[in-house]
Amino acid sequence: MPRAKLRALTTVDQLVAEEWIAGGSVVDIRDVVTNFSLRISAEMRQAIGSGDHGLLRQFVPSAAELRVGPEELSDPIGDRAHMPVDGLTHRYPDRVILAVTQACDVYCRFCFRREVVGQGGLLGEAALAAALDYIRATPAINEVILTGGDPMTLAPRRLRGILEALAEMDHVALVRLHSRVPVVAPERIDSALIAALGAHPAVWIVLHSNHAAELTENARAALGRLSAAGIPLLSQTVLLRGVNDDAEVLAQLFRSFLRLKVKPYYLHHCDLARGTSHFRTTIAGGQALMAALRGRVSGTALPTYVIDIPGGFGKVPVADPWVRAGSDPGAYLLTDWRGGEHLYRDPERAI
């Protein structure tokens, strides 16, 4: 049956019309969206309308976002702590993150960059040129990760221009795009976008998806187009309380990825972004889920469970020797890639 044409949802009045005001008053929700952007793509709006609450919780604002814990940070993974030029994070010697836009097709309620996404548009021409100059002048950079916002919201012509510039730099062997677009706005994956992705010889896509209900018929077709074009696909999933903190939900998602030729890559512990404590699980809870998955799904379906050490110290697997239980319940010692040690405590509300 043909689907009714929906548009993206961007206002509180539209939430009211959809009867998607839950867990707070309309006034609370207006307060939330003053600080954190609201946008639900047409594809996800349609999917939520079909009644899946794993999706509703990810995209529909809640008054719980007004609660900011003392441990929560405006820049939880420390992007700005390693920013030699605007829009470019250089945390590890051999790779950089280039935030080419602040726009996304959806604004996820748990986003670790929620303070910046939706607040602006494209990285300006001068800043982009400065970032490319920095990469050009730094031969140690082997890999460039395009992110944002969502880099696949760029017009194909602009994306092609960036990839062509990177392709001219011999030391940039690999370009990774971190994107939610194939799932939340699959109509963007057309021949023009796929042709643009061919402008660098080694483009990989890391798909952000958290629940099998996101893998709609349109999303599956879009992923099929990308894999038919020979683009390697990996996944990243955020572990979210009330969305996917269940072994069977995760097993279904990871098995679906493999069927779509997407290799499960990372399961992220939910970062300490402001107003997201209602999404956060405990470290022990995440480890128990990974243990429950082992044996239930094949090794190819298992991602690595990782945590970004708050403050910009990088990502580590949630396993010994990088993450070790401390003396108090809920306290952990995290060891970063340089050997530095950091205390992490499960926020009280997650326990």
**Should residue 274 be labelled a site residue for ligand SF4 when binding is judged by CB under 6 A?**
no
- Using CB under 6 A as the binding rule, whether residue 57 contacts ligand SF4 is answered as no
Beta-strand (E) ranges in 29-187?
88-92, 95-99, 143-147, 174-179
Region near ligand SF4 per CB under 6 A, out of 102-110, 161-169, 254-262, 287-295: 102-110
- 107: contact with ligand SF4 by CB under 6 A: yes
Contacts of 2 (CB under 8 A, 6+ apart): none
180 noted as active-site residue: no
Task: Identify whether 108 is a catalytic site residue.
Answer: yes
Query: CB 335 → ligand SF4: shortest distance, Å?
Result: 27
332 lies in the binding site for ligand SF4 (CB under 6 A) = no
77 vs 21, 216, 271, 314, CA distance in Å? 30, 31, 7, 7
Of the candidates 38, 55, 106, 199, which one interacts with ligand SF4 according to CB under 6 A?
Answer: 106
Compute how many residues bind ligand SF4; rule: CB under 6 A: 12
- Binding residue for ligand SF4, selected from 111, 270, 309, 316, defined by CB under 6 A: 111
Active-site residue, 324 included: no
Give the span between the Cα atoms of 250 and 248, in whole angstroms: 5
Exposed, middle or buried by CB within 10 Å (0-12, 13-18, 19+), for 327? exposed
In whole angstroms, the minimum distance from the beta carbon of 201 to ligand SF4 comes to 26
Nearer to ligand SF4, 257 or 332 (CB): 257
Q: How far is the CB of 109 from ligand SF4 (least distance, A)?
A: 9
Sorted by sequence, the CB contacts under 8 Å of residue 184 that are 6+ apart come out as: 41, 43, 44, 105, 106, 214, 219
**Residue 211 and residue 208: Cα distance in Å, rounded?**
10
- Contact between 108 and ligand SF4 per CB under 6 A: yes
Q: Based on the residue annotation, tell me whether 271 is a catalytic residue of this protein.
A: yes
The answer to whether 208 contacts ligand SF4 (rule: CB under 6 A) is yes
Task: Please tell me the distance from the alpha carbon of residue 141 to that of residue 242, in angstroms, as a whole number.
Answer: 39
| Closer residue to ligand SF4, CB minimum distance, 106 or 222 | 106
* CA distance to 7, 167, 274, 345, per residue, from 17 (Å): 14, 47, 28, 40
Looking at 109, 113, 180, 274, which residue is catalytic?
113
Host H or E run for residue 308:
strand 304-308
Footprint of ligand SF4 (CB under 6 A): 104, 106-108, 111, 113, 117, 148-150, 180, 208
Catalytic residue set = 91-92, 95, 104, 108, 111, 113, 271, 308, 315
